[in-house]
Structure 1
Amino acid sequence: MLSEPRLGGTATDIAVRGGAIRVETLGSGPPLLLLHGWTLDRRMWLPQVHDLAAQYRVIAIDRRGFGQSSAPPDLTEESADLLAIADTLGLDRFALAGMSQGARIALAFAAEHPERLSALIVQGAPLSGVPGGDGDLPINQMAVLAVAGELPTLRYLWRHHPLMQVDGLPANAIVDHIVAEYAARDLAAPAHPFEFGEGDLARIVTPTLVLTGAKEPAWRHRVAGVIARALGAERIDIAGAGHLANLDQPELYNRALARFLAECGRALPASRIN
């Protein structure tokens, strides 16, 4: 049983192919949709939502296969999920922020549906085809454990991986709770190959902010550089932060998001700001 409450907002289920996506909304103003990373859920945005909800309609989702969403895992369906969420909530255009695997989904959505986005933020993004990513994630080992039903061992392995390390009690408590409830549905399900590489970036025209934690692995910094150069995007390293930069250094992270979103909002015609 997953713990309640989540973020303290209004939660609802939105129908998508194969099930539903759990969405939680806080605040009012221009819409900002948040995509969590692999093995995580919408609780990873706890240090952001209440701060940003003072100026934005913050919409945090549990991606399919994670958290409280019932839709089965399938990366190839997630752009369609975002469209369903936006259409159901009446969002013409919205800002989209994604972390890690969620950032790859955000990039793919920006390439496929540029007319729906006012701003794009990607944090610790992976990218297919950039050399040096082998061994970045212990996916194969974790998949074997998932199929064997060895979830405690899987969770221990992942919680102690360098990508999952954060500083401070609040951040560690959030990560502990999320990892303890990770059900590995995506690892136990049939694979749905999903690729998004450097060549696909040419289709993105949305103003973009590329974030990494300063202490992230070199490959993540290399990918961030590729994305920033291809898109002519702003690039920021969050000082003192690892892969989970929004949890490690929430004040610096929130400040960077708020400034970028404000700049993008000023650049939009008033009639297009929801």
Structure 2
Amino acid sequence: MPVTIIDGQPLHYVDQGSGPVVLLGSSYLWDRDMWAPQIEALSQQYRVIVPELWGHGESGPMPALTHSLDDLARQALALLDQLDIAQINLVGLSVGGMWGARLALLAPERINSIVLMDTYLGAEPEATRQYYFSLFKMIEDAGAIPDPLLDVIAPIFFRPGIDRESALYQDFRKSLQAFSKERLLQSIVPLGRLIFSREDVLEQLPCLSAETTLVMCGDQDKPRPPAESQEMADLIGCSLTLIPDAGHISSRENPDFVNEALLTFLANNA
């Protein structure tokens, strides 16, 4: 897996296929595997780049210079500069959409098209922000994600009816269990606090091009409910696609639908 140094830390990324570039921005607590079906489908026609979040997958710890989602956007731009990539089609899910939209607002000339999936550009509602911060405090105190907490955190990412014995669910639960104390304290918890204390940038969304923007959301997404996606689509003036039988990580819960939607959108915009 290729690696580059950004802000003094090693950033690992997938670089597969050739053609117009599609940059996939991942969800918090997930590595490149959350995009496995999309990497396979899209890399037949496109060059697919998937940077792994700090402290996730093979990437190093979060750099000291990372204070906001704007920094994540700036770091993604630094990766594109190092790879000599002028323009991208950006597909960002969850925090990938949060920094992805900021990248599009920061450097519109670099964006050919953008898909915002299961994400929200408003501030985190105060009740959920406080709830997540309480979970971070428990993780910090334990130096791990304790078993009872695994069964609180893992279900957040899936539709309510998911089979908890399925490989998708169990593999994700095991990946949470595998985070070392060092990763949790240096990267995972600080990154979580940064994400959930983000600023509201909804008023900037009309700056995105309605013609080259698509909003998508799992129809059973709990942390980022479809109403939020509808609000963003209305502000941008673009269409909203609901992904059937999918929760937050819609890329894995309904990959065939997501792949088809992305391929259709990219065929018209990339």
TM-score normalised per structure 1: 0.83
In angstroms, what is the RMSD of aligned CA positions?
Answer: 2.6
Amino acid at match of 2:155: H
Deviates more, 1:215-224 or 1:12-21: 215-224
1:199 aligns with 2:203: yes
**Contact residue 126 and residue 220 of structure 1 kept, 8 A:** no
Deviates more, 1:171-180 or 1:91-100: 171-180
* CA–CA distance in structure 2, aligned partners of residues 44 and 61 of structure 1: 12
Report the CA distance between 1:194 and its aligned residue.
3.2
Which residue, 86, 90, 94 being the options, matches 1:100? 94
1:42-57 matches, cutoff 5 A: 42-57=32-47
**Contact residue 210 and residue 224 of structure 1 kept, 8 A:** yes
Q: For the structure 1 residues 55 and 76, does the alpha-carbon distance in structure 2 shift closer, same or farther, using more than 3 Å as the test?
A: same
* CA–CA distance in structure 2, aligned partners of residues 167 and 80 of structure 1: 36
Which residue, 126, 149, 155 being the options, matches 1:160? 155
Consecutive unaligned residues of structure 1, counting only runs of 5 or more, are 1-10, 266-274
Report the CA distance between 1:219 and its aligned residue.
5.5
Report the CA distance between 1:223 and its aligned residue.
1.5
**Contact residue 23 and residue 50 of structure 2 kept, 8 A:** yes
* CA–CA distance in structure 2, aligned partners of residues 64 and 218 of structure 1: 22
Report the CA distance between 1:160 and its aligned residue.
3.3
Correspondence for 1:23:
13
Correspondence for 1:84:
78
**Contact residue 18 and residue 72 of structure 1 kept, 8 A:** no
Report the CA distance between 1:34 and its aligned residue.
0.8
Q: For the structure 1 residues 37 and 190, does the alpha-carbon distance in structure 2 shift closer, same or farther, using more than 3 Å as the test?
A: closer
TM-score normalised per structure 2: 0.84
* CA–CA distance in structure 2, aligned partners of residues 40 and 108 of structure 1: 20
Consecutive unaligned residues of structure 2, counting only runs of 5 or more, are none
Provide the identity percentage: 23
1:119-198 matches, cutoff 5 A: 119-129=113-123, 134-135=127-128, 138-148=131-141, 149-153=143-147, 154-161=149-156, 163=158, 167=162, 169-182=166-179, 183-184=183-184, 185-188=187-190, 192=194, 193-198=197-202
Amino acid at match of 1:135: T
Q: For the structure 1 residues 251 and 166, does the alpha-carbon distance in structure 2 shift closer, same or farther, using more than 3 Å as the test?
A: farther
**Contact residue 166 and residue 172 of structure 1 kept, 8 A:** no
* Number of residue pairs the alignment of both structures matches: 254
For residues 175-225 of structure 1, give each alpha carbon's deviation from its aligned partner in whole angstroms, at most 9, with x where no partner exists.
Answer: 234333344323157955531421121332371110001112386212111
* CA–CA distance in structure 1, aligned partners of residues 174 and 38 of structure 2: 17
* CA–CA distance in structure 1, aligned partners of residues 25 and 77 of structure 2: 13
Amino acid at match of 1:180: Q
Q: For the structure 1 residues 106 and 165, does the alpha-carbon distance in structure 2 shift closer, same or farther, using more than 3 Å as the test?
A: farther
Deviates more, 1:158-167 or 1:112-121: 158-167
**Contact residue 212 and residue 236 of structure 1 kept, 8 A:** yes
| Secondary structure of 1:39's aligned partner | coil
**Contact residue 214 and residue 238 of structure 1 kept, 8 A:** yes
